[in-house]
A and B are shown apart, each in its own frame.
Chain A
Amino acid sequence: MRRMSVFPQHGTALGNLGLTANEIRQETENNTSELISDLVNLSARARFQAIRSLPMPFNEKKAIRNRVNSVKLSKTILAADCRQQVSRSFRRFRASLASARQHLIIWQDTLKGIGSRFGTSVLSYFLFLKWLLKFNLFSLIVNFCFITIPQIVHEPNISSITGFRGLELLTGVGYFNQTVLFYGGYNGEVIVSKPTYNMQLAYFFTIAAYLVLCGVSLLYSMSRSFQKNFVLETGPVSGGAWRLLCSWDFSVVNEKAIQYNKNNLAIQLKESLSERLQEKNQMSLSDRIKRLSLHLLAWLLSLGLAVGSGAGIYFLGTNQELAFSSNHDPSDLGAEASTLLLPVVVSLINLIVPLLYSLISKIESYSNPRAMIYISIVRNVILKMSILGILCFYWLDSVPEKTSCWESFVGQSVYRLLIIDFIFCLLGIFFGEFLRNVIGTMCIQTLGVPEFDIARNVLDLIYAQTLAWIGIYFSPLLPVMQVLKLFIIFYLKKISLSMNCQPPKHTGRAAQIQTVFIALLFFPSFVGALSMVAFTVWSLKPSDQCGPFQGLDTPFHTIFSWTDSLPEYHWVGWIFENILRSELFYYLISLIVLVITYFLWQITQGRKQLIKTLREQIVNEGKDKAFLLNKLKNLQKERREMASYRSQDYDQTPYFNPNWMNTLPLDM
């Protein structure tokens, strides 16, 4: 409804045309009647949305709403009262549903407080955390209902030999070994009850359905976010001056934070001014070569560190962890505690190497701070994904031959990694933020208060979530730990933020960085976990002595045995055999998708061209408008001059006064 948003009420446009007050009133009355007839023709919901988004003061909106309602009433055939009552009560019901739904949103007030004190970019970290929490809660509920409860109720499989010792919480072996926490605690029997419940199929389909739903939800969020935030960047958008009008954060209410934001804005504006001046200076060839070689050196160092840590972890894993598993003496606490060495080393690498990366990036010089943020994100992602990749390779390649019940072993490794990562996160909050704040304010004043580094924290969250997704197949109740962990981290980070940190300095383009994070959550993280689980299900032989898939060639064979057991010509079997298993189907689908992509790309190109033409048209219309206004002014000036000239003429000619009788002297 663009027309409604440009109301030339007392505008100079109408004023310039020299219309009288009556004509202006007539014009606005025409506009209003058109508006009302437009509104009457909409559906009820669209009508109320349109009324709410009218850019008018409140009483005018109310007047329009009343007029629209009376027009609608006069059009109805049913009894006016009855219809009005029904629609009103329906609207009230919907409104009360909306307000009830708001109660269910957890942490609403806390998030509001954080946003008002620290701004929207820090708030985005907490919103991301809440989103991840929703994923894990959903997975927990689904797994618990469909896999764990049937297993517990019908076939309790606990045959533990050892009692519960405290070390289990950290290492996951021992007492937990045969419980439903890990893959080994499930078996694949068909539970004989009224509707028979096939545990194998249940296990397979629950995990598959959850992963597919996650993938769909991630794709949807990613595309929505991309569409909203990465608009076609036409025009001089590299300049920073738009920040003046668009980026002031009205939601920040804290006085200190507002002062802080003002300082930041001044710094950013100065930077953008100096950028403009710097564009004029061309860099000499030797400078450019020097910068390029520094960049190259930095990249080599970073990649070398990543590869080195990967190799170290692999060697540590192959030498050390397997030694324990072949030992299997449950009372050897020392050997069990030594399994914690690998996770501790992994967490140390995750902690120290990013610090080294930030040191390395100090030797480079970047043209703009945004490039620095993106490059540091890329390097950290490469590091974390290479660590996870090496671990997955090790788990899928060397472990299955050497251990019995290897899936439980992998589940326990993931469990240990997650727990130690959590402990290191707690230590990081304590040392990295609390002590650093103390040192920065009391001992070494120049260091200052630590900044809340959003990128590093979000990447830690993504790393932990990747581990959780990998571990879901091997340990269905792993989301319990992830949920608890996210809860505790939320509150601790909030407290630490209020006490210790200050918001980050460069807050521009928060929305774009948010899209990048969602994309990172999808592409290396979720896709990697999904491919690992898919590889396990498709091609690895499950262990023979434990788990729901004992005795099969691959876990995927449960589907085959299920479709074989279905009656002949059952529609599910038919779909499976002829569509999902035939290659022709996938070729056709790929071909169709490629063709559609090509068409959409062509449409985008055409639209870009159209936008360029329209921009030129706007410039031309501006020139036309200026020309016409000038001409109008000249015309009005001429007319006024003519009128004043003519009135002077008129005065000089003889003028017969019909009232001449009264002009005679009185005493005649």
Chain B
Amino acid sequence: MGNKQTIFTSQQLDAYQDCTYFTRKEILRLFHRYRDLAPQLVPLDYKNQPEVRLPYELIGSMPELKDNPFRQRIAEVFSEDGEGNMTLDDFLDMFSVLSEMAPRDLKAYYAFKIYDFNNDDFICKSDLEKTLNKLTRNELTEDEVRMVCEKVMDEADLDNDGRLSLEDFQHMIVRAPDFLSTFHIRI
């Protein structure tokens, strides 16, 4: 229907539209943003599904991500290989979850994974300390860092096992109605 484009087959575009929160036009626009990061690596013809993977350094240099303290974790969580090197599918998936149309549960799930630095499906104290260090460089002393992490654990850990599970995190998100609008990157 409508515009002629030669990058994807119509089945591929339908699949993208069904699995992300983007419209056709936005998908094409995002493809061009992906391609602009490395025009020599990304072909203009995706019909036969080429295996193209952009390295993390290129993804982390995008203006929307380059100053974000969590850009490395975001890229690692959404990339297939877990190292931050993203295919076009990963790229679209990442911005779809971070768009404003994604529901709260989905965003909470991925936010949990981003803050879980050691990938053990729980946010433990060391994960909290790493998060805190990424968000405040030198302003807090060692003691204060420790106390803040203890406080978060006190407030959020419902089943008292010393670490936050996904349910604890989701329960905390419910009390923060701003979360939907802050966990959001516009592109």
Q: Beyond A250-B184, A251-B184, is A53–B106 a contact (Cβ under 8 Å)?
A: yes
Chain B, residue nearest A120 (CB): B181
Return the chain B residue nearest A64 by Cβ.
B19
CB of B17 closer than 8 Å to a CB of A: yes
Does B19 lie within 8 Å of A51, measured CB to CB?
A: yes
Partner of A253, one of B67, B131, B156: B67
Tell me if B30 is interfacial: C-beta within 8 Å of chain A.
no
In the complex, what residues of A have CB within 8 A of residue B176's CB?
Answer: 242, 246-247
Chain B residues in 8 Å Cβ range of A510: 178
Q: How far is the CB of A507 from chain B (nearest CB, A)?
A: 9
Asked if residues A255 and B139 are in contact (CB atoms below 8 Å), the reply is no
A192 and B77 CA atoms in complex are apart in Å by: 72
Question: Would B178 and A246 count as touching, CB distance under 8 A?
Answer: yes
- CB-contacts of A329-347 with B (<8 A): none
Q: Is the C-beta of A59 less than 8 angstroms from some C-beta in chain B?
A: yes
- CB pair A621–B137 under 8 Å, yes or no, is no
CB pair A242 B148 closer than 8 Å: no
State the Cβ distance, A61 to closest chain B Cβ, in Å: 5
Closest to A277 in B: B147
- Known contacts: A116-B186, A245-B172, A250-B68. The answer to whether A52 contacts B136 by CB under 8 A is no
A288 at the interface (CB under 8 A from B): no
Bound CA–CA A626/B161 (angstroms): 7
Q: Say yes or no: is A71 at the interface (Cβ < 8 Å to chain B).
A: no
Interface string of B109-148 (1 = CB under 8 A from A): 1110001000011100000100110011101100010011
Q: Which of A84-112 contact B (CB under 8 A)?
A: 88-89, 91-93, 95-96, 98-99, 112
Tell whether, in the assembled complex, residue A244 and residue B181 are in contact, meaning their CB atoms are under 8 Å apart. Answer: no
With A52-B20, A93-B1, A120-B178 already in contact, the answer to whether A619 and B159 are too (CB < 8 A) is yes
A residues within 8 A CB of B148? 241, 244, 269, 273
Cβ-defined contact, A250 with B98, below 8 A: yes
Q: Is the CB of A233 within 8 A of B120?
A: no
Q: Which of A260-268, A312-320, A423-431, A534-542 contacts B (4 or more CB under 8 A)?
A: A260-268
Partner of A266, one of B25, B105, B140, B182: B140
Closest residue of chain A to B143, judged by CB?
Answer: A273
- A52–B19 touching, CB < 8 Å: yes
Query: Count of A residues near B, CB < 8 Å?
Result: 75
Q: Is the CB of A59 within 8 A of B89?
A: yes
> Which residues of A (263-281) have their CB < 8 Å from a CB of B?
263, 265-267, 269-270, 272-273, 276
How far apart sit A621 and B26, CA to CA, in the bound complex (Å)?
45
Q: Identify A244's interface contact among B132, B144, B167, B185, CB under 8 A.
A: B132
Cβ-defined contact, A58 with B159, below 8 A: no
Q: Any chain A CB within 8 A of the CB of B103?
A: yes
Interface string of B156-187 (1 = CB under 8 A from A): 10111100001101001111111101111110
Partner of B175, one of A61, A231, A250, A615: A231
Q: Which of B1, B64, B154 contacts A89 (CB 8 A)?
A: B1
- Smallest CB gap from A239: residue in B: B155
- Asked if B67 and A255 sit within 8 Å, CB to CB, the answer is yes
B9 an interface residue at 8 Å Cβ cutoff?
no
B24 pairs with A99, CB closer than 8 A? yes
Distance (whole angstroms) from the CB of B149 to the closest CB of chain A: 8
B185 near A258 (CB under 8 angstroms)? no
Query: Is the Cβ of B182 less than 8 Å from the Cβ of A250?
Result: yes
Judge if A236 is at the interface, Cβ distance under 8 Å: yes
Contact present for A269 and B159 (CB under 8 Å): no
Question: Using Cβ atoms and an 8 Å threshold, which residues of chain B touch A52?
Answer: 18-21, 96, 102
A 218-249 contacts with B by CB, 8 A = 228-229, 231, 233, 235-237, 239, 241-242, 244-249
The residue in chain A whose Cβ has the minimal distance to the Cβ of B91 is: A58
Which residues on the B side are within 8 Å of A115 (C-beta)?
Answer: 186
B158:A244 contact, CB within 8 angstroms? no
A506 at the interface (CB under 8 A from B): no
Interface members, chain A 625-649 (any B CB < 8 Å): 625-626
Whole-angstrom CA separation of A52 from B111 in the bound complex: 17
Query: By the criterion CB–CB under 8 Å, are B135 and A262 in contact?
Result: yes
Q: Does A195 contact B (CB under 8 A)?
A: no
Chain A min CB distance to B147 (Å): 6
Report chain B residues within 8 Å CB of A262.
69, 135-137, 139
Query: Are A58 and B155 in contact, with the CB atoms below 8 A?
Result: no
Is A607 positioned at the interface, with any CB of B under 8 Å from its CB? no
A618 interfacial contact with B, CB 8 Å: yes
Given A55-B106, A57-B93, A273-B151, are A615 and B24 neighbors across the interface (CB < 8 Å)? no
Query: C-beta contact mask, B51-62 vs A, less than 8 Å → 1, else 0?
Result: 000000000000
The verdict on B14 contacting chain A, using a C-beta distance below 8 Å, is: yes
Chain B, residue nearest A99 (CB):
B23
Q: Which residues of B contact A269 (CB under 8 A)?
A: 136, 140, 144, 148
Q: Give B80's nearest chain A residue, CB to CB.
A: A57
Q: Does B152 count as interface, using CB distance less than 8 angstroms? A: yes
Q: With A55-B106, A55-B110, A269-B148 given, can you name 8 additional A-B contacts, CB distance below 8 Å? A: A8-B121, A51-B18, A61-B19, A233-B175, A239-B155, A244-B131, A246-B172, A253-B185
Leading 9 A-B pairs by shortest Cβ distance: A622-B159, A266-B139, A246-B176, A58-B89, A241-B151, A266-B136, A58-B93, A55-B109, A241-B152
Q: Which B residues fall within an 8 A CB radius of A?
A: 1-2, 14-15, 17-21, 23-26, 63-64, 67-70, 78, 80, 89-90, 92-93, 96, 98, 102-103, 105-106, 109-111, 115, 120-122, 128, 131-132, 135-137, 139-140, 144, 147-148, 151-152, 154-156, 158-161, 166-167, 169, 172-179, 181-186
What are 28 residue pairs bridging A and B, where the CB atoms are less than 8 Å apart in the complex? A2-B105, A5-B166, A12-B122, A48-B18, A52-B19, A55-B105, A57-B78, A59-B80, A62-B19, A96-B1, A99-B23, A99-B26, A116-B186, A120-B181, A236-B155, A242-B176, A244-B131, A249-B182, A253-B63, A253-B185, A266-B140, A269-B140, A270-B140, A270-B144, A272-B151, A273-B144, A276-B151, A625-B161
